[in-house]
């Protein structure tokens, strides 16, 4: 049996990740490909419990290292219990966020040491990496405007604008450092135009 492919999608809030994942999954399914959709933090029973802790606005005092470790704990659970079994079963896995988000949010946003994050990445992932990462790039301002209508912000969404500017900047640096894997897509266009660009990239792996 053919091994599946692992696609991740990332970017700042409101970049359109969920919107584009809906379209990618439908497109792959129309091609007869089995698709497993997941998200980070979360995606497993244990991971979703970790997500609740991470995004709970009552946990304002959480130490940044704890936040980072919880992201990787959720990730370990997801890789071991969901992603690898699905890929071995021939399914394609599409994940809303993955390790690049830890570099961007905890490294950029929280200003944690990027080398320490890389050590955790090595520990939890080893050589395992997505086949393709779609980085939806949009200005923090437009992203925030898009999600303004939402009822309540989670713990991380409460951060100030400078935090998200640092997040965006690390995402862009990573797309420059790993150009074969991470494809930066201008996410300010129409939903259909963005999907068309993504479709071509997905067809190429
Ligand atoms: N996090 C972390 O810190 N470290 C980590 O390692 C990981 C995660 C893995 C999880 O949130 C939080 O965890 C996140 C990062 C952190 N924190 N924050 N803040 P999440 O990923 O579940 O949710 P999110 O990042 O906040 O995503 P989002 O706000 O749901 O945005 P989105 O999925 O990218 O956008 P959307 O829902 O598809 O679209 C938003 C709106 O814009 C919606 O009304 C759409 O109809 C509209 N839209 C979408 N595309 C377009 C275009 N092209 N034009 C116009 N309007 C559009």
From the CB of residue 124, how many other CB atoms can be counted at a distance below 10 Å? 17
Side-chain half-sphere exposure of 104, counting CA atoms within 13 A? 23
**How many A from CA of 124 to the centre of ligand 1?**
24
- Cα–Cα dist 50/71, whole Å: 8
As a whole number, mean pLDDT of residues 2-15 equals: 94
- pLDDT tens by residue, 83-127: 999 999 999 999 999 999 999 999 999 999 999 999 999 999 999
Q: Which residue ranges make up each domain of the chain?
A: 6-203
> What architecture does CATH give domain 6-203?
3-Layer(aba) Sandwich (3.40)
- Cα–Cα dist 54/159, whole Å: 14
Encode burial over 137-164: b for 16+ CB neighbours within 10 A, e otherwise.
bbbbeebbebeeeeeeeebbeebeeebb
- Of 125, 116, 120, 133, which is closest to residue 174 (Cα–Cα)? 133
Answer for the pair 18, 190: CB distance below 8 angstroms, yes or no: no
Q: 1 pLDDT exceeds 80?
A: no
Find out whether the beta carbon of 194 lies less than 6 Å from any atom of ligand 1.
yes
Q: 163 pLDDT exceeds 90?
A: yes
pLDDT of residue 191: 98
Would the CA dihedral through 70, 183, 165, 103 be positive or negative? positive
Q: Is 90 annotated as a binding residue?
A: no
Question: Would you call the peptide bond into 41 cis, given omega within 30 degrees of 0 as the criterion?
Answer: yes
Residue 89 region, left (φ>0) first, then alpha (ψ -120 to 50), else beta? alpha
- Of 91, 88, 183, 96, which is closest to residue 128 (Cα–Cα)? 88
Find out whether the beta carbon of 104 lies less than 6 Å from any atom of ligand 1.
no
Find out whether the beta carbon of 10 lies less than 6 Å from any atom of ligand 1.
no
pLDDT of residue 145: 92
Find out whether the beta carbon of 41 lies less than 6 Å from any atom of ligand 1.
yes
- pLDDT tens by residue, 143-159: 999 988 787 889 998 89
**How many A from CA of 39 to the centre of ligand 1?**
11
Three-state DSSP at 38 gives: strand
Measure the CA angle with vertex 173, ends 197 and 92; round to 5°: 45
pTM score: 0.97
Pocket test for ligand 1, best of 8, 12, 13, 142 (most atoms within 8 A of CB): 13
Three-state DSSP at 85 gives: helix
Answer for the pair 140, 14: CB distance below 8 angstroms, yes or no: no
């Amino acid at each position: 049996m053919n091994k599946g492919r692992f696609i991740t999608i990332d970017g700042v809030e409101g970049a359109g990740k969920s919107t584009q994942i809906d379209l990618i999954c439908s497109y792959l399914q129309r091609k007869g490909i089995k698709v497993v959709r997941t998200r980070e933090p979360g995606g497993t029973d244990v991971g979703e419990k970790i997500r609740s802790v991470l995004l709970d606005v009552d946990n304002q005092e959480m130490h940044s290292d704890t936040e980072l470790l919880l992201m990787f704990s959720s990730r370990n659970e997801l890789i071991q219990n969901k992603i690898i079994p699905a890929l071995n079963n021939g399914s394609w896995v599409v994940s809303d966020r993955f390790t690049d988000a830890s570099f961007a949010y905890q490294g950029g946003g929280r200003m944690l040491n990027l080398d320490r994050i890389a050590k955790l990445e090595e520990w939890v992932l080893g050589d395992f990496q997505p086949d393709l990462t779609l980085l939806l790039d949009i200005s923090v301002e437009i992203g925030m405007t898009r999600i303004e209508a939402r009822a309540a912000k989670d713990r991380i969404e409460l951060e100030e604008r400078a935090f998200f500017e640092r997040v965006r900047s690390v995402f862009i640096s990573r797309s420059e450092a790993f150009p074969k894997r991470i494809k930066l897509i201008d996410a300010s266009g129409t939903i259909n135009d963005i999907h068309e660009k993504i479709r071509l990239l997905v067809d190429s792996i």
